[in-house]
Amino acid sequence: MLLAVAILWGSSYVFAKLTVQAGMHSGLINACRGTMCVIAGYLLFFKKINKINRKDIKLGLLMGTINFLGYYLQTDALRYTTPAKNAFLTTLYIAVAPLILWLVWHERPQRKTYFAITLAIIGMAIITNVTSGGLHFQYGDLLTLVSTIFWALQLIYFGKYAPQVSSPWVVIFMIGLCQGVYGWITVLLTERSTLGQVHWLQALVPLAILAIGVTFLAQGMQITAQAYTDATSAGLILMLESFFASVFSVILGYDPLTPRLVVGGIILLLANAIMQVDLRQLPFFKKKSA
């Protein structure tokens, strides 16, 4: 189930890029996908959703707001960068999460965190080509980096608070509701002039896939599946999201298969793997300690 989630998440970067190419801006994309998610969620799980309580609403609004901000920034970044670069930079949230836990919840990170973050920065520098570009990011890269803060917060809140709600599908319903409401507010305030540029027929299919397959199905599967596996296994499987995103992006011609993309991506994946694996349990380190 988690492998299917990683594939769905990986494909989402390409589908989001297709909606952007169809003339949709980030607010409209999130408004439509949130609305579709709410409709699908209620039709399938209306009995559970009808039993929603005050705690569900409170936690759902919090997680839905964080999710919208992450998606909005990440999707808007696709107007200025490629799906593979967007996906790889997004994986930094796994390195950012321990820092937020330290600063906000006072949970001190392990020593390996510093090494992993250093590796991640090196990989990020290679992918974004800052070494030859005067040490500055493209605008899309910067937006993606800011979005990692919200993805890290979502990872933390999903782990700490999602189990407290009455049903995982209630959380997904609230996430879709926040996406829809915040998205339509964004459209009314900032994107009304762009509505005439949208090719609706071109955007409809990728938009439906994003709404049903990614916002609704994948996140519901993630919350459900993590109850049946340990955090390390789940993290390593979900980390394949960026790998599948790059595969789809290269196959569809959005990114060339360059050494910079491969090397930088491998370094970022290695950094994330170090964050997820308990090195003390590996045979090499066990022998050393013995």
What is the pLDDT confidence band of residue 260, given thresholds at 50, 70 and 90? confident
Q: Which range (36-40, 62-66, 213-217, 242-246) has the least confidence? A: 242-246
pLDDT digits (tens, 9 = 90+) for 145-196: 999 999 989 888 887 887 788 888 898 999 999 999 999 999 999 999 999 9
In the chain, pLDDT over 70 holds for what percent of residues?
90
Residue 232 has a pLDDT of 55
Answer for the pair 71, 124: CB distance below 8 angstroms, yes or no. Answer: no
| Residue owning tokens 């964080």 | 66
Q: What is the pLDDT of residue 223?
A: 80
pLDDT over 70 at 284, yes or no: no
Residue from 125, 82, 23, 90 nearest 250 by CA? 82
**What's residue 253's pLDDT?**
85
Average pLDDT over residues 255-260: 83
Query: What's the rounded mean pLDDT across residues 94-103?
Result: 86
Indicate the range of 22-31, 126-135, 251-260 predicted with least confidence.
126-135
Given a contact cutoff of 8 angstroms between Cβ atoms, the answer to whether 233 and 52 are in contact is no
Where in the chain are the domains?
2-289
Average confidence (pLDDT) over 68-91: 88
Q: How confident is the model at residue 240 (pLDDT cuts 50, 70, 90)?
A: confident
pLDDT band at 88 (very low <50, low <70, confident <90, very high): confident
pLDDT tens per residue across span 189-239: 999 999 999 999 999 999 999 998 888 889 888 888 877 776 656 776 777
Name the one residue in this structure whose structure tokens are 């979900």.
238
Nearest to 36 by CA among 179, 223, 134: 179
Q: Are 162 and 171 in contact (CB under 8 A)?
A: yes
Q: Three-state secondary structure along the chain? A: CHHHHHHHHHHHHHHHHHHHHCCCCHHHHHHHHHHHHHHHHHHHHHHHHCCCCHHHHHHHHHHHHHHHHHHHHHHHHCCCCCHHHHHHHHCCHHHHHHHHHHHHHCCCCCCHHHHHHHHHHHHHHHHHCCCCCCCCCCHHHHHHHHHHHHHHHHHHHHHHCHHHCCCHHHHHHHHHHHHHHHHHHHHHHHHHHHHHHCCHHHHHHHHHHHHHHHHHHHHHHHHHHHHHCCHHHHHHHHCHHHHHHHHHHHHCCCCCCCHHHHHHHHHHHHHHHHHHCCHHHCHHHHHHHC
> What is the pLDDT of the chain when averaged over all its residues?
85
In one letter, which amino acid is 56? Answer: D
Residue percentage of the chain with pLDDT more than 90:
38
